[in-house]
Amino acid sequence: MGHEIGRADEDGWSASTGPDSPGFMLYGPYATDIPAGAHSATWRLMVDNNTADTLRVVRLEVHDFARMSVLAQRWVTRDEFGAAWVYQDFPVAFTSAGGASLELRIWWTDISYVRCDKVTVR
């Protein structure tokens, strides 16, 4: 996976409001083995504070790199997290066309510390 911003942090990859600017904290892997049809990508994320506001902290995207199109996206707000410092799953349903080169991305907004543990596709 690629990173424009952030750093390796314990068991994942994180971005923080002090040293980082808005950008893609995660993108890739350009998977070509996902068959055509309905799927779900799930990002496992945590934040440092889930009660300060209701602002958007990340945008999760399923991007078809071969066709340069976003197949699905979801904004996640701070208050969607059930607790601070606890991983939570955020699924995004999408439909893949045959021959896709799937890129799973996290656009970080510079609102809150966010850490990603993993991304899975089913």
Tens-digit pLDDT profile for residues 33-73: 999 999 999 999 999 999 999 999 999 999 999 889 999 99
Answer for the pair 121, 38: CB distance below 8 angstroms, yes or no: no
pLDDT-derived band of residue 30, with 50, 70 and 90 as boundaries?
very high
| Residues in contact with 10: Cβ distance below 8 Å, sequence separation at least 6, in sequence order | 115
Please indicate, yes or no, if residue 76 is contained in any of the structural domains. Answer: yes
Please indicate, yes or no, if residue 32 is contained in any of the structural domains. Answer: yes
Cα–Cα dist 113/110, whole Å? 8
Positive or negative torsion for Cα 15, 92, 117, 76: positive
Structural domain range at position 117? 7-121
Please indicate, yes or no, if residue 1 is contained in any of the structural domains. Answer: no
- Whether the bond between 22 and the residue before it is cis, its omega within 30 degrees of 0, is no
Q: Which amino acid is at 108?
A: W
The pair phi, psi for residue 99, each rounded to 5°, is: 80, 10
Q: What is the pLDDT of residue 83?
A: 98
Q: What is the pLDDT of residue 98?
A: 79
Cα angle: 66, vertex 28, 62; to 5 degrees: 65
Task: Tell me how many domains the chain contains.
Answer: 1
Answer for the pair 3, 20: CB distance below 8 angstroms, yes or no: no
Please indicate, yes or no, if residue 2 is contained in any of the structural domains. Answer: no
pLDDT-derived band of residue 11, with 50, 70 and 90 as boundaries?
very high
| Residues in contact with 30: Cβ distance below 8 Å, sequence separation at least 6, in sequence order | 65, 101, 102, 103
Q: What's the CATH code of the domain at 109?
A: 2.60.120.260
Please indicate, yes or no, if residue 62 is contained in any of the structural domains. Answer: yes
